[in-house]
Amino acid sequence: MTNPQSELERLQAEAAQRAMIDRELVARFAPEDAELRGANDRAKAAGMPEIQISPLQGKLLQVLAAACGARKILEIGALAGYSGAWLARALPADGKLITLEVSEKHAEVARATFAAAGVADRVEVRVGPALETLPPLTSEAPFDLIFIDADKGNYPAYLDWAVKLSRPGTIIVADNVIRGGRAFQTPPPDENAAGAAAYNEKLLANPRLISVAFPMDDDGTDGFAISVVR
Ligand code: DHB
Ligand code: MG
């Protein structure tokens, strides 16, 4: 029989090791400057939920933007502008990030973040429900990279729009497709998990997309799905 005390110590040691590895990776590969840290402080001060992506996820978005030579990026869900700042910094000077945000209050915080991060000239925040702000983007498509991080229930609809607004080679990234494993339960136990599950199912059924997902948030229980349009 396992000794509960030594089992607890083993789990604590594993958690400490994971935290150390994450800290060291962030320090080396994805250090935040004061402006990025400021985005999170601004979100907190505005009483917004602290659900932004991790620094390593921000850096991965930049690597993906470089991989597809992104000049035009679309984000669905700006929140406080943290992920948008990472994305916009990966753009060339004449590049453009359009980020969609349902809340005027959140959009104001995001604009302040973009100004502080020195990318306001490259970013446009459009306010309204994304299902209303997406259709007019048809005339501005295709986008090179599309990042989905908004209300999970609409993720399947957002995927349809992302594909519509894409070109072969466009990279589509979605946050929160794992939900601590709840996206893999049948039936998914909550609305967010159900949205994530439907999103995963839909992208895996689309022969135009080659996709992968993996845990990559601060505690390894949620993460990105990454798809490339063929
Ligand atoms: C939630 C939303 C997110 O985009 C996220 O990264 C984490 C949590 C949420 O709505 O609970
Ligand atoms: Mg998210």
Pairing of strands 72-76, 123-127: unpaired
- Per-residue pLDDT of 166-199, as tens digits, reads 999 999 999 999 999 999 999 999 999 999 999 9
Which pLDDT band holds residue 1 (cuts at 50, 70, 90)?
low
Neighbours of 16 (CB within 10 A): 10
The CA distance from 10 to 141, in Å, is 51
Q: What is the pTM of this model?
A: 0.96
Q: How far is the centre of ligand 1, averaged over its atoms, from the C-alpha of 226 (Å)? A: 17
Residue-range domain boundaries for the chain: 34-229
Which pLDDT band holds residue 220 (cuts at 50, 70, 90)?
confident
DSSP helix/strand/coil, 215: strand
CATH no. of 34-229? 3.40.50.150
From 177, 192, 224, mutation site for ligand 1 pocket: most ligand atoms within 8 A of C-beta = 192
Q: What is the DSSP letter of 219?
A: T
The tokens of 29 are what? 């590969």
